[in-house]
Each structure stands twice: as structure tokens, then as C-alpha cells.
Amino acid sequence: MAIQYKRILLKVSGEALSGPKGTGFDEETIASICAGIKAAHDLGTQIAIVVGGGNFWRGRSSGKMDRMDADKIGMLATVMNALAVKDALRQQGVEAVVMTSSFMPQVAECFTSDKAIAALESGKIVVFGGGTGNPIFSTDTASALRALEISADAMFKATMVDGVYDKDPHKYADAVRYDTLTFTRVLDERLAVMDSTAATLCRDNGLPILVFDLGKPENIAKACKGEMVGTLVKE
């Protein structure tokens, strides 16, 4: 089956990397996620990844700490996660490179869109760390920004639920899952897809988002082939 998406940006939350532990790294979970990424990459899809940092730190839950400093700690957490994902991919025979939003040459390359696109076209997976490089902005917003900067065909948001619902499916048995949505409806009804800044960026630039369950890593390859595995959001 031919791939539908030639180049994607995959957003993976930090919490997903912690597996059943709930914090830090869980090596088996990361290996399983990376096996799913490898399967999609083997199809021929060019893949860039943005990782969150919630398995180590959440700036908005940092109590009395200054918000700017708290967010900087969160950005550093995403760099740790990016390095872990890169190494897990390496162990599975996939060449990957980490690019960060801030200059840290002993750790990773500094991001430019030209370097990222060149790496993707050479067959490497690119893992972005450091968010946007600015406090306040979420890793969802960083994902939308990087997806647009590398001219991705779509953004895949891999979550712990199998799509977007009208209400929390963990709390309400009668929650209804959407197959498709528009960004306007997501914003108007404040549906739990991503923050409004990220959703507006995607809407205004024609970038579709596919939200699906990362608990089934094979969904990444299925989505690349155009199979309906979650909720597709586009205008």
C-alpha cells in the first residue's frame, strides 16, 4: 500500500516515554514506540519528532518558581527525552539526529529548517528538543511550528487515547469519538486536541493533524498509509 504522507511531524508526549512507571524513562516503552516509528520510516515516510518533557517536569505545575525559569527547565527536559529517543532508534538500526532550539553544541545540533530538511531527505529521523526555545509556548506549539518549518504534510499527535472525544472518555462512558473535525470547531468548542496557539497555527497554514493512540505503536505506520486510526483535524 502506498504511503499517503511523505513527510510527517510526530508529537510524542513526555509522559508516554515513562510507561507504567509514570515518571522518567521506561526503556521497554521507549523501545516499543521506536519500533513503531521505525516501521513507519521503513515505508518511506520522512519522520521528524517533537518530544514533550512531562515525564520529568511541568512548568505550569512548578508552584512558586518563576514561570520563565520553570519553562526553561521544561525545555531542558525535552532535550533529555530527545536524546533517549535518538538512542533507542539507534539501537534498532535507525540513523537519527537531535536538533535543539538553543545552542548546545556538546549535546546536539542547533536547529535550522535547511539542516533538518537535508537530514530528512538523507534518510535520517530528526528528533527536536528544546521546544520553541522560548518560555510560555507549549510543545504542541513547538510541534506545529517545526512541522511548518520542515514543510510536513501532516502533524501526528500520538496520545494515550484513540482520538478526540466530545468529553473525557476516562470519566464518561457515553463519550463520543470524532472521526473528523475542523480546527474552527476545535477552537470554538475548546476540544482537547491541543492548545489554541498550536491549533490556530495549523488552521491558518493548512496543516492537518491526526490524533491517535500511541498505546498501539503500529498506528504510526497505519496512519502514514492513510488508514483511519484516530481523529483527523483539518479545515
Annotation-wise, does 7 bind a ligand?
A: no
Annotation-wise, does 134 bind a ligand?
A: yes
Closest listed residue to residue 14, CA positions, set 47, 58, 62 = 58
Annotation-wise, does 168 bind a ligand?
A: yes
Annotation-wise, does 122 bind a ligand?
A: no
**Rg of the Cα atoms in the chain:** 17
Annotation-wise, does 132 bind a ligand?
A: yes
Annotation-wise, does 61 bind a ligand?
A: no
Per-residue cell: 44 = 518511506
Geometric angle at alpha carbon 5, from 19 and 113, rounded to 5°? 80
Annotation-wise, does 74 bind a ligand?
A: no
Strands (E), the chain: 7-12, 46-51, 96-100, 109-110, 125-129, 154-159, 164-165, 177-178, 180-181, 209-213, 230-233
Annotation-wise, does 11 bind a ligand?
A: yes
Annotation-wise, does 229 bind a ligand?
A: no
Annotation-wise, does 165 bind a ligand?
A: yes
Annotation-wise, does 139 bind a ligand?
A: yes
Annotation-wise, does 133 bind a ligand?
A: yes
Annotation-wise, does 20 bind a ligand?
A: no
Annotation-wise, does 51 bind a ligand?
A: no
Annotation-wise, does 137 bind a ligand?
A: yes
The distance of Cα 127 from the centroid of its chain, to the nearest Å, equals 10
Sign of the alpha-carbon dihedral angle for 213, 193, 116, 137 = negative
Q: Which residues are annotated as a binding site?
A: 11-14, 53-54, 58, 71, 132-139, 159, 165, 168
Q: Which residues are annotated as a binding site for ATP?
A: 11-14, 54, 58, 159, 165, 168
Q: Which residues are annotated as a binding site for UMP?
A: 53, 71, 132-139
